[in-house]
A and B are shown apart, each in its own frame.
Chain A
């Protein structure tokens, strides 16, 4: 079955450390997204990519970086510059150019905590 796989499910970061969250999709979707969710909060967009080798900052990109070298993969790195990284991170994808009636499909999320 097609879907989005995020790994790991739980991740712990030490002070000053960079960590990378994986997101892989086999839906053949062009567009991919990273969101951050804090307790009791909605979703905030970190980065998104409409096509391979191109990505744009979302609303809260500071302290994060991404790459899009393959259509299937959109890893997110939480750098040491992100001072409050503890949150639930969700990856999503959708068909690009298919109009706004196409919903985003989401992975199961990665819960990141500070040690």
Chain B
């Protein structure tokens, strides 16, 4: 089965704290990709990162980092030194390897950064 689980429905942290958003996935494919999207209050989903299953190296982009672990089927997202502008809903997603299949989104984690 193709499935993405974001167990954290809502998280609140104080500004400048670090926060990790969890994503656990299930897939029948041996090779696959994973995405993270951000949905700010304005509503548009903004693509953040793509990771393929060949590469388990962690990725860092500024204050954002991603920890991909195939052994635990997880693709967690950490924001370091959080800022109020990071407040948003974050979605983890598993795109299809077959072009006729659908991308599977997790239910999202709503992140509140408190000033």
Contact = CB atoms under 8 A, between A and B. Distances in A.
Interface string A71-115: 000000000000000001010100011001111111111010000
Decide if the interface of chain A is mainly helix, strand, loop or mixed.
loop
Given A96-B99, A100-B97, A108 B43 contact: yes
A101 B52 contact: yes
B95 A101 contact: yes
B45 interface: yes
A42 interface: yes
A100 B44 contact: no
Interface residues of A, number: 26
Given A42-B105, A42-B108, A108-B43, A101 B99 contact: no
Interface of A: 40-43, 45, 48, 50, 56, 58-59, 88, 90, 92, 96-97, 100-109, 111
Interface of B: 9, 32-33, 35, 37, 42-47, 50, 52, 91, 95-97, 99-100, 102-103, 105-108, 110
